[in-house]
Structure 1
Amino acid sequence: MKLYEYQAKRLFERHGIPVPQGLVTAQAEEVRAFVQHLGTPVVIKAQVHVSGRGRQGGILSASTPHEAFLQAQVLLGTIIAGQRVRQVLVEQFIESEQRIFLALRYDRTKRQPLLAAAIEERRKVISSTRPERILTATIHPLRGLLTYQVHEIASHMELPYDLWQPFVNTVMQLYHFYEACDAEYVELDPLVTTAQHTIVALNGRAIIDDSALPRQTEIAALLLAEPLTAAAQIARDSHLLYVPLQGQVGAIVNGSGAGLALMDMLSHFSKGDVCLTSFIDLQSRETLDNFIQAFHILNAEPTLEAIIVTLFSGRIETGELAYLLTQALSQGQPSVPLILRIEGVGAAEAQAVLRRIRYAHVARTLSEAVWMAHTLLKGRSHVNFD
């Protein structure tokens, strides 16, 4: 579960990580009033799950309360990478001297958490030409992150010595947040040093393990308080798992693993040219109404160019799934190419039923479904799948 920047910062602050003073709102007039109280200059930031939103016009600055009001009006309601801006975060502008990238994630190769750090102005060059220059520390799952590991990173970054202690405190608190909140990934980008010899997290990201939400009551409350998009509201009401992404292909699956596999295979096969715009996991609730609602959600996606339905069943006859799909599609034909794939008990009979849907393309395997999507979207007559 991805947190918006303001949600992540709210939790960071409660864990002792310094963040700028700010306000999240959906009203431009509230921005003006807050800036009159806070003072200028300020930055106004669109709250969307989009990497690099600043390069897409998602972060604006203002030097007066009225200008902040106008900039908020510009952002609210606009669409950035397929996502509508419903809220903005307005914060005091902080002049930085040094910008640091920090991230914590689980390294599946080493089977341990990993801390990564780099000086921001060098990070993009380093990551592409000298990946070994990104500083890392492997964290023992029992001992946790140790102070000397953070000292080594501070030393290699040539951080001024009077900033070592606040830097160590911030990194240790970030690790405590990562552990306590069941995070899959956390990032401070950038964490800045100032002329006043302080450290502040100007931006932050956090992804929380969905399966941990029942025990993460504070985070669950944040998510429940968040105004939902129409698609997310339909999915919640139907007990469907809706995962919005950034791409061209919508997917309906009955298992999140299938959705993730499809996402990886599609991106890998197309070398990143074709990606999922979203996927909907039926979560073993393969009913006629849920199929109808899933198609309704996908058809409303602004960047949708194709739909893949991939289902597997070991519980019920796949012929029944094929019948439900046929009934759902009789309610309305998608306006984009449709690829259908069913595996499980009686798959041959189910595929025969699906082939009666004249506008649909029936795939026997997930790989074939991926190949079909790429071929249809790229308009190529032949693809060497090897």
Structure 2
Amino acid sequence: MDLLEYQGKQLFGRHGLAVSDGKPVTTVEDAVAAANEIGYPVVVKAQVLIGGRGKAGGVKLAANEDEAREHASNILGLDIKGHITRTVWIEHASDIDTEYYASILLDRSAKKPLLMFSIEGGVEIETVAEETPEKLIKHHIDPLVGLTREEAIKVATDGKAADDVIEGVADALVALYEVWIEEDASLAEINPLIVTPDRKVKALDAKVTLDGNAAFRHPDHAELGDSANADPIEVKAAEQGVTYVKLDGDIGILGNGAGLVMSTLDVVAQHGGTPANFLDAGGGSDAAKVKQAVELILANENVKAVLFNIFGGITRCDEVANGLIAAFEDLKPSVPFVVRLDGTNDVQGREILEQAALPNVYAAKTMDGAAEQVVALAKGA
């Protein structure tokens, strides 16, 4: 789950990271009141889960009440790359002397947390890595020990942070790791991590992604994220306990097991198709769950064809067939389906579908053949 900037900053503050005073608001009047309370100058910042807010007019400096009102009026409701701004963050403007970068994420190849630090903050880290790689310090952290202050000081020193703020940077890095580990984050990033003229180190921005698999340990995380801009199909899927991610294509995908679904997406793409979703029906899916999944797929109006790719283990192919029949009886889909059933009770499943003679349903023997066929159907062939 990705957090809005202000939510990430609130987490930072709980763990000792210095952030600017601010308030999230949803109306113009509340924005003006917050600005008056915080004290001018303030920054009015759109809270959306997308980059490029500043270029889109979503970040403005206000020197007085009139400007705060004007900027809040313009930013609330602003569409930034398809994300509607429903909340703005009002914070006291910061004086900036230097901009650094810091982040912690999981390096899956090394199986360790990775700390990255650079004195080239305020720009995309990919640009720094490509153009000035010597200015990007990478340091793996022993997960059994954590990030020690001595390590953090070395990272700040090796990264050539100014001598008089090395201690402050080290403190920020240790606090950032505390956020990452204690909040079960998969990413905790500050860009920029600023140094003020009076040599204070402060997080001016926050990008935090929380691990949804650890949500049961953090009931306080339930209200986080950008639910107002969440895709309604994804919200419904989450309520039903179905793993569904909406994509930009026109071919609905259903499989059982994340690895199989990922492979299916790849094979469809290899044949020139564009998947409309990732949907993992999971192991042991019965007819009711399959019908639920079909409803989710067809809720996306862009879907022109659907591919079922089932490799039965604990999932029985006859149950999948019965679920598809139930879905057709209730939903009466107008788009073609390609169904590949293999594994547990696959013969029975194929026989059930054959006897049902569902309109516009095609059987396929292999994943490659199924992908090729569904792409052709989506294109009208």
Task: State TM-score, norm by structure 1.
Answer: 0.78
Q: In structure 1, give the amino acid aligned to 2:110.
A: K
The amino acid across from 2:114 in the alignment is L
In structure 1, the residue matched to 2:145 is 143
Offset, 1:100:
2.1
Q: Which residue of 2 aligns with 1:384?
A: none
**1:157 partnered with 2:156:** no
| Structure 2 unmatched runs, 5+ | none
User: Where does 1:150-299 land on structure 2 (aligned, <5 Å)?
Assistant: 150-220=152-222, 222=224, 230-244=232-246, 251-260=253-262, 262=264, 265=266, 278-284=277-283, 286=285, 290-299=289-298
Relative distance call for 1:126 and 1:322 in structure 2 (3 A) is same
CA deviations 1:98-118 (Å, max 9, x no partner) are 222222122222222111122
RMSD: 3.9
Flag the 1:141–1:77 CA change in 2: closer, same or farther, 3 A. Answer: same
Name 1:345's counterpart in structure 2. 344
Deviations 1:231-280 (A, max 9, x none): 344224423234456666654444344445556x379859xx98766434
* 1:136 Cα deviation from its structure 2 partner: 0.3
Instruction: Return the index of the structure with the highest Cα Rg.
Output: 2
The verdict on how the C-alpha distance between 1:124 and 1:113 changes in structure 2, with shifts beyond 3 A counting, is: closer
Residue number in structure 1 paired with 2:4: 4
Partner of 2:53: 54
Post-superposition offset of 1:19: 1.9
3-state SS, counterpart of residue 323 of structure 1? helix
CA shift, 1:72, in A, is 4.1
Moved more, 30-39 or 164-173: 30-39
Distance in 2 (CA, whole Å) between partners of 1:106 and 1:147 is: 20
Deviations 1:350-377 (A, max 9, x none): 4573895554565555555666677778
CA distance in 2 between counterparts of 1:364 and 1:232 reads 30
Structure-2 change in CA distance of 1:82 and 1:122 (3 Å): closer
Give a deviation string over 1:181-220, Cα, whole Å, max 9, x none: 2222221122122222122212222222222222223324
1:40 paired to 2:41: yes
The Cα offsets for residues 123-154 of structure 1, whole Å up to 9 and x where unpaired, read as 44332355465210011222222333322332
1:311 Cα deviation (Å)? 3.4
Letter in 2 for 1:98: T
Please give the alpha-carbon distance, in whole angstroms, between the structure 1 residues aligned to 2:99 and 2:42.
19
Structure 2 counterpart of 1:322: 321
Indicate how the Cα distance of structure 1 residues 305 and 313 shifts in structure 2: closer, same or farther if over 3 A, else same. same
3-state SS in 1 of match to 2:129 = helix
CA contact (8 A) 2:44 2:71 kept: no
Cα distance in 1 for partners of 2:209, 2:129 equals: 22
Aligned to 1:54, the other structure's residue is in SS state: coil
Query: Counterparts in 2 of 1:42-121, with a 5 A limit?
Result: 42-48=43-49, 50=50, 52-54=51-53, 57=56, 59-63=58-62, 64-77=64-77, 79-118=79-118, 119-120=120-121, 121=123
Distance 1:103 1:301 in 2: 36
Aligned residues: 374
- CA displacement at 1:321 relative to structure 2: 0.5
Distance 1:37 1:376 in 2: 60
Equivalence for 2:27? 27
Aligned-pair CA distance for 1:87: 3.0
The answer to whether the Cα contact below 8 Å between 1:338 and 1:361 also exists between their aligned partners in 2 is: yes
In structure 1, distance between residues paired with 2:23 and 2:334: 41
Cα deviation for residue 222 of structure 1 reads 4.0
Supply the distance in 1 between the matched residues of 2:290 and 2:157 (Cα, whole angstroms). Answer: 56
- Give the counterpart letter for 1:282 in structure 2: A
Specify whether residues 74 and 334 from structure 1 end up closer, same or farther in structure 2 by C-alpha distance, changes over 3 A only: farther
- Range with bigger deviation, 174-183 or 319-328: 319-328
Q: Using the TM superposition, give the Cα deviation of residue 36 of structure 1 relative to its aligned residue in structure 2, in angstroms.
A: 2.7
89-98 or 162-171: bigger deviation: 89-98
Q: Is the 8 A contact 1:113 1:140 kept in 2?
A: yes
